[in-house]
Structure 1
């Protein structure tokens, strides 16, 4: 246990329950690593170290008395700073909400605590989960631990960076146009956007009511399934929450993929938005590997990325304007430049644009549903490029829309992004798997088969 910072959630929880590892020892080791590395990574907006150590001492005493709260007992977690943590500000990485003290936990945070997790603090995000890596905000943007000159993806940027760097083994992110899966892709971790409505959004600052999701971010597929089992479930306080039976998401992790049908959406990265050749080669390698593992891989066609992006843009920006319009009118100068520009675009959509986008969205849901009748899982690109430099606004602007994540915010289907390889430049390449609604267990089964074959869970950035 010398490298406590690379312990998986499952291994740490098992060792703590067996009294082979102290929650105090684990938390102290992670806080020391955060103190050493976070000045270079800017992962935290607010580190709550004293409260974390107090919670660790409580968890240790409970474990000694034979009381294990749940499957995450004594394991630290980071929380994206658009989610309420009682007693801490929910700033959304913005001057606008710098003093916005939360009086209660978001439902997803409360579920993590109920399962025994220890909250380390609040993590960097793009401003209001939309801005981008901005340098005109009260806190600096997070950086990529594979190369700190590069972007970690967003908007759950601190979550992705911190998990990849070994600052904490799990984190919460949110995903409206890919904001869990983008950092997972850039930082080489596992990020899941669950089925729409599977995880409550109550206590999470909204961006788009139609498209918002909360999802787990971890270094392994098994940890992601474990975390999802804790945070999933119906919440009558969230109007978008789905009343669905509980599932055992880790149930298929030890199964192979023989007989499973995988639909490869090649036109996304070959025709609609030609990917970097390294990304294309990595995706083809994933498909070949799954074939060798016994899966049947066949070509699948969906609406174009351009169509998906247009629908996503109209719905997201219209709903974001409905949320931010009053503040933008009163305090425009307190927003960062990137967030202000992106949010104000929503003021120029007409009601007819929004209605037509919602109508087209239903057709797109039907198209993905039709494809998933013939296959069990879809395989496609996540990012079309490795992470760009963080200090090049032109590169960020060019590469940010070069992705295939927004289609599944539009349709609500579960989508998981993970490492597909490492570029010649030493940055992660990514792949995305997409499943049927509420079939996350199958998604994890396929993702684990790839992880097992490729050893992606053993690959970490060289940051020390």
Structure 2
């Protein structure tokens, strides 16, 4: 097995080889580090790296397997940790010059659980500044590019995570999602991303109290996403919003024959690129081949849903950033400063108005989900925008029509608004540019297992996404 094959092993395959003695965590970590070093200039998926410490931990994991000692479910796996959450004694930049000298004095619960399960935090994955863009570039770290086509973005804000997985420099990765930040890069990079229902996974204050905000797993397979989700989730005594009891998802599911699947190409409000449409329709045929019935539905959503979602984000998230303007405004990126300035002028009436729209949206979505097992739709309406795209100055056009340059080219934000619905993004194909496209699988509130059951069935029918050189980026 060559280095590239090692780097694209699924987490489950790697653990199986560790247990059988056919592969050592040291061999996997060495291959991963070599791959990361080779791609740091072209993909730029990683920020801080902790390779020496990672090798020490890989040797300890190797010894555990050799002795038959008790091991964690992630023992010896390289896990890319988004450069947003904390690890004690390590830097966390959140992509910002303002944060470049910050060293954490605590470890976020999510990261503590991953490391306790044997996962090795070999590197931090890149984000846009303060995670407030659908692309990943910053003044501190530069531009992170799509491994499938470097002219295009890897998505954001968990863009480094998506790019790292797609380029084989992490086996698993963490993400967070406040407007699509797990699912946008999952789609653009051709990986799996999961936005759990609000409260399922713990988060740090104050955004644990923001119901748009979700931490979640990213992986190259659905089963690997389940593996990491089972580690991340569960109540946390430091997070009042975290749910009890812990939900442990199974790794095996019954077929979806007889399921009723609702489908919407555009959610009634988005322009959708022809390549995305083509790949989505092909994905629907896969579900039909599995014995599911697929029916198009009209959600009846008002045309201003994205504006309402943005109003919510600008009031809370933008308001949070606005406190930095006076002292640090000169250090901020254009997009972070724009977000902060909008937060500064946002009104409570705008926030309440967004809540009213959210209620209106669920009044139609809820009854539809009662009649169907899941709803499916594209993840990104456009495969990707340019890698260095700045939504404060640039424009985005789909089907000859201008759309909101910030989040109008993705179809993720409505399901942050529908925050208690689990959403799994899986790859649906590739566009003419080579950039992947994605499919969102939306479940009933707190029915996490349903979206994984559908996603796993789809993956098994469509075939492995990174199984050989023909299905990997040619880097």
Displacement of 1:338 in angstroms is 1.3
Distance in 2 of aligned mates of 1:256 and 1:222: 15
Contact 2:284 2:294 in 1 (8 A): yes
Displacement of 1:167 in angstroms is 0.7
Displacement of 1:38 in angstroms is 1.7
Distance in 2 of aligned mates of 1:4 and 1:42: 20
Query: Does the C-alpha gap of structure 1 residues 227 and 43 become closer, same or farther in structure 2, counting only changes over 3 Å?
Result: same
Distance in 2 of aligned mates of 1:294 and 1:49: 47
Displacement of 1:305 in angstroms is 7.0
After the TM superposition, which residues 342-421 of structure 1 pair with which residues of structure 2 at under 5 Å, given as runs?
342-393=339-390, 394=394, 398=405, 400-412=407-419, 413-421=421-429
Distance in 1 of aligned mates of 2:70 and 2:259: 37
Query: Does the C-alpha gap of structure 1 residues 62 and 395 become closer, same or farther in structure 2, counting only changes over 3 Å?
Result: farther
Pair 1:137 & 2:121 matched = no
SS at match of 1:82: coil
Contact 1:173 1:179 in 2 (8 A): yes
CA deviation string 1:20-59 (max 9, x = no partner)? 2111111011001101112211111101101111111111
Displacement of 1:87 in angstroms is 1.6
Residue matched to 1:44: 46
Displacement of 1:400 in angstroms is 4.2
CA deviation string 1:177-235 (max 9, x = no partner)? 000000011000111111111111137x8498221100111011111111111111111
Contact 1:308 1:406 in 2 (8 A): no
Residue matched to 2:244: 243
SS at match of 2:426: strand
Residue matched to 2:400: none
After the TM superposition, which residues 232-311 of structure 1 pair with which residues of structure 2 at under 5 Å, given as runs?
232-252=233-253, 255-268=254-267, 271-304=268-301, 306-311=303-308
Distance in 1 of aligned mates of 2:142 and 2:196: 29
Gaps of 5+ in 1: none
Distance in 1 of aligned mates of 2:173 and 2:20: 24
Residue matched to 2:399: none
Contact 1:259 1:296 in 2 (8 A): yes
Contact 1:314 1:346 in 2 (8 A): no
Query: Does the C-alpha gap of structure 1 residues 178 and 305 become closer, same or farther in structure 2, counting only changes over 3 Å?
Result: farther
Displacement of 1:267 in angstroms is 4.2
Gaps of 5+ in 2: 397-403
After the TM superposition, which residues 331-346 of structure 1 pair with which residues of structure 2 at under 5 Å, given as runs?
331-346=328-343
Pair 1:448 & 2:456 matched = yes
Deviating above 6 A after TM superposition, structure 1's stretches of 4 or more consecutive aligned residues are none
Contact 1:249 1:444 in 2 (8 A): no
Q: Which piece of structure 1 moves more, 428-437 or 387-396?
A: 387-396
Residue matched to 2:112: 110
Residue matched to 2:32: 30
Contact 2:429 2:437 in 1 (8 A): yes
Tell me the TM-score normalised to structure 1 length. Answer: 0.94
Distance in 1 of aligned mates of 2:156 and 2:228: 20
Match of 1:154 among 150, 153, 156: 156
Tell me the TM-score normalised to structure 2 length. Answer: 0.92
Pair 1:330 & 2:330 matched = no
Displacement of 1:17 in angstroms is 2.4
SS at match of 1:148: strand
Q: Give the paired residue count.
A: 459
SS at match of 1:119: strand
Query: Does the C-alpha gap of structure 1 residues 134 and 430 become closer, same or farther in structure 2, counting only changes over 3 Å?
Result: closer
Displacement of 1:371 in angstroms is 1.6
What RMSD, in angstroms, separates the aligned Cα atoms of the two structures? 2.0
Match of 1:435 among 443, 446, 468: 443
CA deviation string 1:220-267 (max 9, x = no partner)? 111111111111111131132122442324231xx3210111110234
SS at match of 1:331: helix
Contact 2:86 2:106 in 1 (8 A): yes
Displacement of 1:362 in angstroms is 3.1
Distance in 2 of aligned mates of 1:325 and 1:307: 25
Query: Does the C-alpha gap of structure 1 residues 327 and 432 become closer, same or farther in structure 2, counting only changes over 3 Å?
Result: same
Distance in 2 of aligned mates of 1:227 and 1:101: 26
SS at match of 1:77: strand
